[in-house]
Each structure stands twice: as C-alpha cells, then as structure tokens.
Amino acid sequence: MNTIDMKKLLIVVGTRPNYIKITQFKRIAEHQFKNQFDIKIVHTGQHFDKAMADDFFTQLDIYPDYALHIPQSSANSQIGEIIIRLEEVINEFKPNMMIVPGDVNSTLAAALTANKMQIPLAHLESGLRSFDRTMPEEINRILVDEITDFYFVTEQSGVDNLIKEGKPEAQIHFVGNTMIDTLFHFEKTIVNQNLLSEYKVEKGNYILMTIHRPATVDNKKGLEDLLTLIQSLTINRRVIFPMHPRTLKNIKLNGLESAYNTIDNLVTAKPMDYFSFQNLIHNSALVLTDSGGIQEETTYKQIPCLTLRPNTERPSTIQIGSNTLLNFDQQKIHTMVEQVFSGQYKKGKVPKLWDGKATERILNVILNAL
C-alpha cells in the first residue's frame, strides 16, 4: 500500500489521563498494520504544564504532531478556541477519521468539529454513564455519543447504555480498554521504579490518596472533611497524597495549609510522572480516590480501591473489579480500610478484554470500515 492509500487518522487529546489512552496507536499501527495508517496526534493544551508535559511525552515515547496551545480560560472559551484551531489542522491533514478519547472539553470540541466538517468520528470509552448530570463530564459523554459514528466501548455497561439510547448495534464495538494497553506495555518499567525508599514506606503498608473533584475540593467544608479523614487514617497508617494543583490551591485559599502540613504520617507530593504514580499504585495496600481512570487502573492491578463519590461511570470496576463506591462516610471508609489491612476485602477480577490488545482491535475495526 503506497502513502496515498494510507488511512489518515487524527487523534485529539487535551489532558494527561486521555493521553494515556492513546499511547499505543502509532506503535501498533507501525508494527502490526505496516503502511496502512497515517496517524497524527493533536494536543489541545486544555491541561498543560511544560515541564510535566515534556517528561510525560518522553516517558511514554509519544509526541503530539500538532499543539494547539489553548490558553487556560472558561469552558466555553476553550471549546471555541479548539474548534477554530482544529479546523486549520483538519484542512492541512485531511483525515479519513477523527478519534476522541474520554469526556473532557477537548473531547466535545473535537467531536463537534468532526461533525461540522463531515469527518467520521470514533469515540474511545463510549457509552460510559454516571447518570449524574451535575458532572460536566457526563454532559460531554452524552453529547459526543449523539454524533459519534464508531462507538469503542471499554466495558459491558457501555454497550448496554448505548443500546438503551437507541444507538445502532452495528456501530457499537466492545474492544476493551486502551488505558490498560498502556499499563500492559509499560508494566516492567513501572514495577522497576524505586519510590518506596524515597517515601519511607514498605510494599502493601501504605494508603495512596488522590482527591481533586470540585464537589470535595472547591469548598471549605469538603476540604475540612478531607482533613478530618486524613487525620484519623494517619493515626495508624501512612498516607501518600500527590496533590492536584486545584486541590493545593484551594487548601491555601481556605487557610488550611498549616493544618495539612502538620499531620504526622501524611506525605504530600506534587503531581507525579506516570511511571512514579503507577509504581505507588502497584505497591500500595489500597487507593482512596475520586478519579475515574484510577478505578480502572487499580482494578487491572487488583489493588483495593475506595472511590469517594456517590456514583461511577465505570460500574465494572465495582461489579467485577477491586473498587468500592462510597459516599464521604467516614465510618464506612474506616471499616473498609480495616477490611483491606486485615485481608477481608473482596478479591476483584480483571474485566473482559482488559488484556493489552484494545488498540489492535480498534485499528482492525477502522481498517475494515474505511
């Protein structure tokens, strides 16, 4: 197949978590689909820190072909800027298909652009639903799936939701989880990181925490409740807490920085590179989080995960995996933590098709369709 016959795919990402979902596309296209795809990656810059981004791209050995450099601003302004700048990229590259992962503003903006420019659209993680329309991500998921042509689904709930919404079954493809492909590919590198001595912890003897959602960290009461929880957990356990920039900013704005800084057994850290954070997950006793992706990563690693949210768009992590959904109920949290450390917590399984081959399945579907 000569260059002119190659299928041109444009993948649009805007945040670090979504970048992790597309790391294997170029590698697999090169090694398993020789000369059949020309893949370009657009980084919108929705979340961007130059130092962190450079490390991130270097670690994962994948670099954006186009950078839109969207400035930090309101959601409306970001979406508008992405649409305008992405149109220029499309006019230059002329893709046969656009691929968008996840549920962030970049996902929605790229999907709208593809629709208006009549480019077939593929959505990674299609069909996930929390059924909580107060979450901006939920609105983005719903809107993107309304104009998607290829629904690439990570778990059975996604298939069920799309069918209930009346999407054509022939366009729904249960392929597995591309974020797990990244974990699978870099497993040896992740395991070989040496974070335990740096944080003075032993394998299986600490709690890893990530909290960043607005419902918890954008108000003083949420931050005070979190403070109380950490104070009680650290009486007997060491807690490692890499702080999201917004979490740290709000702790300072609400005058709680000294209270957090004086907790014995609490280790706060800046946002970490991918390998370091995955190594901490790998060696932890459990993870306390409000993140979506971490629910999946812990399920794949079969590490206990307590998700401090009233709902989740990833029910397989609860029904099959190692995740438990909890409201911010301190007593229930402590009960579950003790179950983990006493060996009584449930044993999760890895969901179907989370085997490191989702990207390959997606490219097969696209090759047969275009």
192-198: which pairs have CB atoms within 8 A and are 24 or more residues apart? 193/275, 193/276, 193/278, 193/279, 195/276, 195/279, 195/280, 195/283, 196/283
Q: Which of 129, 128, 301, 136 shows the shortest CA–CA distance to 208?
A: 301
Quote the tokens at residue 55: 């490390």
Residues ≥6 apart with Cβ < 8 Å to 121: 97, 98, 100, 111, 114, 115, 147, 148, 149, 150
Quote the tokens at residue 170: 């022939």
* Separation between Cα atoms, residue 41 and residue 56, nearest integer Å: 15
Crossing angle of helices 293-301 and 178-185, rounded to 10°? 50
* Separation between Cα atoms, residue 59 and residue 49, nearest integer Å: 15
Report the sign of the C-alpha dihedral through residues 89, 90, 93, 95, in that order.
positive
Residue 96 contacts residue 9 (beta carbons within 8 Å): yes
Beta bridge partners of 41: 11
Using DSSP's 3-state secondary structure scheme, residue 11 falls into: strand
Quote the tokens at residue 104: 């962030």
Beta bridge partners of 12: 42
Active site residues: 212
**Maximum CA extent, the chain:** 65
Residue located via tokens 């950078």: 67
User: Number of helices and strands (H, E) in the chain?
Assistant: 18, 13
